[in-house]
Structure 1
C-alpha cells in the first residue's frame, strides 16, 4: 500500500514539474500555485517514505487512513493533470487555475486530519533544515555572481564526487530570483554527453517555439546557432552541471553568447582543469567545494537516523564519530551509511560491526574511493528485490530521462 502511494505521488510531482516548462506557457500566478502544490506533495511523499519502512501492524489506524486518502488524492490530481494536458493539446487551457486551486484545497484538507498534522509539521521543520552546511557556501557563490549589472559572469564549482556540488549549484539557482532574468535553464552534461539532446534541453527551457523548430535540425552546429540566436539579446542564467572534459564545455560555451546584459553561468565539474577552462578569458571565479565539517557531518548523520542528535543514545556517539571519520565529510557517503544503519537495530554492537566493515574496505583509499566502497556496502545491504531494481536501472545511459 505504501509503495503504491509513494509511486503515484512521485509520478504526480513529476507531471507538475512538466507543467512549469515553457511548453504550457502558464500565467505567473498559476505557476506559483503549482510550485506551492509541489512543496506540499513533497512533504506528503516524505511522510509516505517513512511509513514504507514500517509493517502494517506497526502503523496506527489514523496513519493508515491518511495514507489511503493520500493515495486517492494522488490519483485524483493525476487525473486532473492528464485532463489538462489533453485539453491543452486541443487548445483549451482555461481551466488550469481552477484545477490548481482545487488540488491545493484537497491537500490542505488532508493536512488538517487529526493525528497526522503534528507529524506533518515536524516533517516540514526537518525539510527546512535538510540541507546541512549549505547556507554559507550558497551565499558565497551568490556573492561571486554579483558584479556590475551588465557584466557577463561565470562561477565554476569543482571538487570530487559526492561533495554535493550539484545540490549547492541548484540551491544557488533556486535562490536567485527568477524575475531577474529573461531566460533560465538547468542541464546536465555527464561523462558521455549527447550534445544534441543537451542543446535541445536548453531550448526546451528558454523558448518553446525555438524548441519545437529544433526538431527539424539535424546537426549540433545548427542547434548551437539556434540557442545562440535565442539568447543573444537576453539576460540569461544557465546552470551546466557535471562537465567532464574541456571539449564538452567549449561546445556548450559556443552556444551561450557573451553579451553585456548581465547574464550568469554556473558550471560544476569534478576536474580542476575543466573548471579553469570554464573561467578562461571572461569575468569568472572558481569555487572549490569543501567537505562538511565534523559538526555538520554529525547533524546530517543524526538527522537521517533520529529526529535530532539529542535522540542518539550516548553509547552510540563514540562509534558514530568513528564512522563519520571514515566518510571524510562527503555528504553522499554519510547519507548512504545513515541509510544502511536506519534499517538495523540501534545497538552498539551492530554499529561497531558496520564500522569494522567500513574500516576494512576504506582505510587505505582516497576519499573518492572510500565513498565508492561505502556505496558498495550500502548496495550489498539492500534486500534482493531492490538490488534487482538497481541493476535494471543500470542498463539505461547516464542522465537518461525518458
Structure 2
C-alpha cells in the first residue's frame, strides 16, 4: 500500500499551497520583496502536487519515487509551520497607536514584524532550495536506472476461487439457493411484454473479498446447462472493452474470437446481438466497477422472446442499481459469514477433519475471527498464515495483534491485500485522503460522523465549493465511502 503514502503527501501539500495563495492575496501585498519567492514556491509545489496525484494512481510506485515522496511530505510540514509562524507574527492589520506608550509598543512591534518579514524571506528561499535539491536528486538517480525489474505478479484469488469445488465452500448453499430463486421468479412489476421476453437479471453487490465471484460462479455452474448459450466474463477495474466483448462472443458462440483483433466495439456488439437473437442464454458479468462499462456491455444482450438470465457482480451501489433498472432485476446484497460458518472455514483450513481446535486456542481463534468480520478472503488468508505457525498461544496472539499491520507485509496475505486495495485505488484523490485519515483513530473505537467531517475540513481536505458548504461536501464524501463499503 505504498501508494497510500503518496496520497498522504498530496493531502499535506494542498493546505500548504492554500496558505501560500493567501500570502499572495491583497491582505499581504505590502510584503513585496517576498511575494516573488512565494509565487515561485507556490508554482513549484503545484507542479509537485500534480505529479503526486498522478503517482497515487499507481499501485506500486518505484523505490526512488517513494523516497522522494517522503522527503516532499516532511518539507511540506516544515513549510506549513513556517507560514503559520509568519502569519501569526505579523498580525492581520496595522492599527494606529494612541498615546506615547502605545507608540513605543507599536515601534517595537514593527521592528518585530520586520524581523519576521526578513525571516520568512530567508526561510522561503531555504525551503525552495531544498525542494529543488530533492527534485534534482530524484531525477538524477532515476536517470541512472538502466535496468528493469521483473516482478512476480500476485495471482488474483478470485481467478482461483472459481475452480474451487463446491464441497470445499463454506456457507454457499443458502445464498446460492436464494440467487437461483430470484432468477426463477416472475416480477409482478414487469409489463406483459417483459414477462414474455423472460429477461431476468440479479446483481450481486458487496465489498471486496466477500465471495461475490465464487457465489456467481456456483450459480453459473448449476444453471448454464439449461441454456443454449452461456458465458462468464470478468470486467475488472481497467477493462479492455473490445477484449471483453470478444470473450463474450467466443464463449456464447463456442469459437475462438478472443485472440483476434478484428472488429471494433460497435461491430462486436452487433455480432453478439445477431448470434444471441432468439436464443436462450445465461451470462455472468463479474466485477463491474463503473456505470459506463455496464452501459456498453448491456447493449450486447438482446431482449428477445426467449428466456434470458444475467448475473452481475460489483462493489458499487450505483452500478447495481443501474444493472437492475436496465432490465427486470433484483439486487442481492451479499452477506458476511456468520460466526458458525466463519469458524467452520477457519478450522477446515487449519486442522484435520478428525482434529478439533485445542481449548487453549479457542478464545484467541474467536478474537481473530471477530477481526476478520465474516470476510471469507480474510479468513482464508489469515488461516493460511497460521497453518505455517506453531500452534502456541504466544504465537497466535502475535498474529492476532498484528492483523492490519504486520500482516500486510506477509506473502500469505498478499492476495487479500491486492483484492481489498483495489477499492482504494479506484477512489478519486480527495476521497483517498479522507479514507486514509481514518487511520488516525484507534482500532475498534467509535468514530462520530460530525467530528470526522469537521476534522477533514480543518485539515484542509475539503473546501466550500459553489453553492455547497464545506460540511455538505464532507457529508457527500462520507456517504460515498459508506456506499462503496469502505467504512
TM-score of Structure 1 vs Structure 2, range by shorter chain:
0.5 to 0.7
1:318 maps to 363
CA deviations on 1:183-232 (whole Å, 9 max, x unpaired) are 000000000000111011111111145x5599363311111111111111
> What is the distance in 1 between the residues matched to 2:388 and 2:300?
47
**Residues 1:378 and 2:425 are matched in the alignment:** no
Secondary structure (helix, strand or coil) at the match of 1:280 reads: helix
2:177 maps to 139
Secondary structure (helix, strand or coil) at the match of 2:330 reads: strand
1:335 maps to 380
**Residues 1:165 and 2:212 are matched in the alignment:** yes
Go from structure 1 to structure 2 and tell me whether the alpha carbon gap of 1:354 and 1:186 turns closer, same or farther (over 3 Å shift): same
1:40 maps to none
Identify unmatched segments of 5+ residues in structure 2.
1-163, 187-195, 419-487
**Residues 1:156 and 2:208 are matched in the alignment:** no
> What is the distance in 2 between the residues matched to 1:381 and 1:254?
38
> Do 2:183 and 2:201's aligned partners in 1 also have CA atoms closer than 8 Å?
yes
1:190 maps to 236
Q: For the pair shown, which has the larger CA radius of gyration, 1 or 2?
A: 2
> Do 1:303 and 1:309's aligned partners in 2 also have CA atoms closer than 8 Å?
no
CA deviations on 1:339-381 (whole Å, 9 max, x unpaired) are 00001101111101111111x63xxxxxxxxxxx85x243278
> Do 1:336 and 1:378's aligned partners in 2 also have CA atoms closer than 8 Å?
no
Secondary structure (helix, strand or coil) at the match of 1:287 reads: strand
> What is the distance in 1 between the residues matched to 2:385 and 2:267?
48
Shift of 1:321: 0.3
**Residues 1:270 and 2:302 are matched in the alignment:** no
The one of 256, 260, 267 equivalent to 2:305 is 260
> Do 1:299 and 1:309's aligned partners in 2 also have CA atoms closer than 8 Å?
no
> What is the distance in 2 between the residues matched to 1:128 and 1:214?
31
Secondary structure (helix, strand or coil) at the match of 2:410 reads: helix
CA deviations on 1:299-326 (whole Å, 9 max, x unpaired) are 0000000124852111011000000010
Go from structure 1 to structure 2 and tell me whether the alpha carbon gap of 1:351 and 1:300 turns closer, same or farther (over 3 Å shift): same
Identify unmatched segments of 5+ residues in structure 1.
1-125, 362-372, 391-402
- Which structure 1 residue ranges, 4+ long, deviate > 6 Å from structure 2? none
Go from structure 1 to structure 2 and tell me whether the alpha carbon gap of 1:346 and 1:214 turns closer, same or farther (over 3 Å shift): closer
2:263 maps to 218
Shift of 1:292: 0.3
Go from structure 1 to structure 2 and tell me whether the alpha carbon gap of 1:208 and 1:139 turns closer, same or farther (over 3 Å shift): closer
> What is the distance in 2 between the residues matched to 1:216 and 1:222?
12
CA deviations on 1:232-274 (whole Å, 9 max, x unpaired) are 1111000000000001001000011112211000000000110
> What is the distance in 2 between the residues matched to 1:310 and 1:284?
45
> What is the distance in 2 between the residues matched to 1:151 and 1:187?
22
> Do 1:154 and 1:266's aligned partners in 2 also have CA atoms closer than 8 Å?
yes
1:28 maps to none
> What is the distance in 1 between the residues matched to 2:265 and 2:307?
26
Go from structure 1 to structure 2 and tell me whether the alpha carbon gap of 1:309 and 1:244 turns closer, same or farther (over 3 Å shift): farther
Kindly report the root-mean-square deviation, in angstroms, between the aligned alpha carbons of the 2 structures: 2.7
